[in-house]
Structures are given as structure tokens and as C-alpha cells.
Amino acid sequence: MKAFLILADGHVFEGRSIGAVKETISEIVFNTSMTGYLEILTDPSYAGEAVVMTYPLIGNYGVCCEDMEDELPWPDGFIVRELCREPSNFRSETALEQFLKAHDIPGIEGIDTRALTKILRTQGTMNGMITTNENFDLEEVLPKIKAFKAHDVVGRVTCKETGFVPADVPKDWDGPRLKVALMDFGAKKNIAGELSRRGCDVTIYPAYTSAEEILQSAPDGIMLSNGPGDPKDCGPIIAEVKKMFDSDIPMFGICLGHQLLALANGADTRKMKWGHRGANHPVKDLETGRVYISTQNHGYVVADRTVPDDVAEVSFRNANDATTEGLHYLGKDVFTVQFHPEACGGPQDTAFLFDRFINMMEVCKNAEEE
């Protein structure tokens, strides 16, 4: 069946329908990863977006549900050059197209994703429509496409009730058992997993949980997760994050959590032209000068020179475009990063940041007990 991708600037791409047969309007973004398409599909940060994979062949190793970052896929659409229908992998449980159909996600294959990506890089990410209607009226649909805006995407992806992930450690574990409150703004499961494997009992809270409830549970640390959308749309959450920050409990923020904490402390954020989405983004640690390869997925960034000098200092910068990739808060046991140290799939160069968070909590806990 024919399918069409109609961009807000009037470009039309013709291809073949994959996945669910339905019409959808969404923001069109591209991801440069060569692998990890299942983790991308199940990353809640993609809510409200349709993903273009720049790598030409997608689906060749099928779907292994163990690799999912959430129980459900979140993108509004999936766009590829070629979809593999006969995967070859001993772990595969189903083909990617069946997965898309089962979760009602429409897609399109057979279009020139290189040309599409060049348009998005030149003009910036924009809205688009995926449709199988061959008789569409361009003048009629373009105003609808341009008017689209995703609303309350954090509320859509966050957990509905409090959850718990116990520490996943051996019986003879002699390390500390720490309590971490994980704020779920669209958290990938590997965040809780990285903490659990380091001896943390993780309580996962819905995004709109009050700071008072979090603080009453007396956590050793607070984790601010990744998530979708414009951070400035999260006003009520930002107010609660500021209260948590003022409590002096150690905090670690990733992606959206990084942006929300910056906004809570007087900084500003801006939308990027096309964002950072992929598994090969270099980030420079400004303290050591070392460069790490990171996985990223964001369309917004903390704006340069907007972080008050007496509040925080930039700790990481993107080695490609010099955008802010990390903040260390002065006089506080608090740090945040824009990239994903829990990345699966993707490089795990920066997983040591979880160790840094653990050490920070241990030091604070020991100081309180003395």
C-alpha cells in the first residue's frame, strides 16, 4: 500500500506503508544510530514525535522484548529507507513490522531518508503527516500539519502510580543499601536498572508528585529522569523540583531532568534547530579534558550563558557544537547531564556517573550519621 509523508514546508515523499494503517501528524525528527531501534521505539522521550532512521536497513535483528526501555513504544510514527521482514537473530521474538502493527504505530518505508534528513538539517525539524490517502489535498492538510503541537507529553508517559525496584545485588553484598527517589518524567528502565545494580532500592514516582511527598520518604538521593517535550511546558513540575533542590539531598538529573533543574534555578532553555538524536555524540569533560562518546535524544538544550555564575558551572560540553551537556551545582551535591549515561543500546562510556552519584550519597549519609 502506498503511503505519503507530507512535511509542513510542502515537501511530499511517497513510499510504502508499514505498521498500522492510520493517519498521524507529528514532529519529524531523525536519529543517526545504526542499531538500537527497539530501544528508540520504546524511549518515552519520543512521545509526540515521528522518528526517521538515517541508517538505511532497519529491523534485521528483529525484536527482543528484553531490550525494551518501556512497556510500550512511544513515537507517533516510524520512517525508514528499508524494513527487514525476515530478521536473523537467535534472540528475536517477532519481526519489527509485526511489533509496529501490534502497537498501532504507522510508518513508511522506501523513501529517500538521506534527502529527508538533509531537509530537516537545513530547515530544522518540522511537523509532518504520514497518510495512506492518495487523494490528499495539500492546501487542506498543510494548515493542520503546521498547527500541530504535542500537549502534556510528560503526563502521557509518566507512571500512573508509585513503583518500586529493589536492589539487584548478590546475597553476600556488603555494600550500602541506598534509597533513591526516581522522578519519572518518561524514565527509561535502565536508569532504575543502573541504580539497582549498584545497591539502590529505587522508588519510582509519577511526574507530578509533590516535593513534600518525596522528602517525607527520606531518600538518600533524588534522580530526575529523561522525558519528552518542551521543558518550559512543565511549570508545576519545575516548582516541585526547586523545592527538592533546596532540601540539600543529593540529586542527579538526566536529559529533561537536567533541563528542569536548570530552569528551576534561573537558567533558560531553547529549542535546537534539529536536536541531538543518536549514539555517537562526543561530549567533553571540562574538568579532565577527556572526550566521551554518548547517546543523546533531545530537541531542547540549556541556553548558553543563562546559568547564573553563582549557582552552577558547566561540566560537559558537546564537542561538535559546544552546547551545554552538563552542570555541576556549586555548594551542592547536585549534578546533571544532557546525554544518557544509562544508554542501551549505545556506548556506555559515561556509566561512571552513576558511581559518582552513589559515592555522593554515601558521603552525605555517613556525614549525617557521624
113 & 236 share domain: no
Considering the domain architecture, whether residues 249 and 363 belong to the same structural domain is answered as: yes
pTM of the model: 0.96
Residue type, 108: I
Long-range contacts for 98-102 (Cβ within 8 Å, ≥24 apart)?
A: 98/63, 99/38, 99/41, 99/63, 99/73, 100/18, 100/19, 100/20, 100/73, 101/19, 101/20
The total of structural domains in the chain comes to: 2
For residue 26, the enclosing domain spans 2-150
Of 150, 165, 193, the residue at which a domain comes to its end is: 150
Q: Has 342 been annotated as catalytic?
A: yes
* Amino acid of residue 323: T
Name the stretches of the chain with pLDDT < 50: none
pLDDT of residue 173: 77
Of 109, 135, 150, which residue sits at a domain end?
150
**302 bridge partner residues:** 269
Predicted confidence at residue 268, as pLDDT, reads: 98
C-alpha cell at 6: 507530507
Cα–Cα distance for residue pair 54/33, rounded to 1 Å: 7
Binding residues: 45, 227, 229, 256, 259, 297, 299-300
Is 255 known to be catalytic? yes
pLDDT in tens, 244-295: 999 999 999 999 999 999 999 999 999 999 999 999 999 999 999 999 999 9
What are residue 52's DSSP bridge partners? 30, 79
Encode pLDDT of 95-124 as tens digits: 999 999 999 999 999 999 999 999 999 999
Question: What's 324's domain CATH number?
Answer: 3.40.50.880
DSSP annotation of 253 reads E
Binding residues for L-glutamine: 45, 227, 229, 256, 259, 297, 299-300
| Domain end point (choices 120, 150, 180) | 150
Return the pLDDT at 74. 97
d(CA 334, CA 312): 9
Q: Are residues 106 and 206 in the same domain?
A: no
88, burial (CB in 10 Å: exposed 0-12, middle 13-18, buried 19+): exposed
Report pLDDT for 370. 62
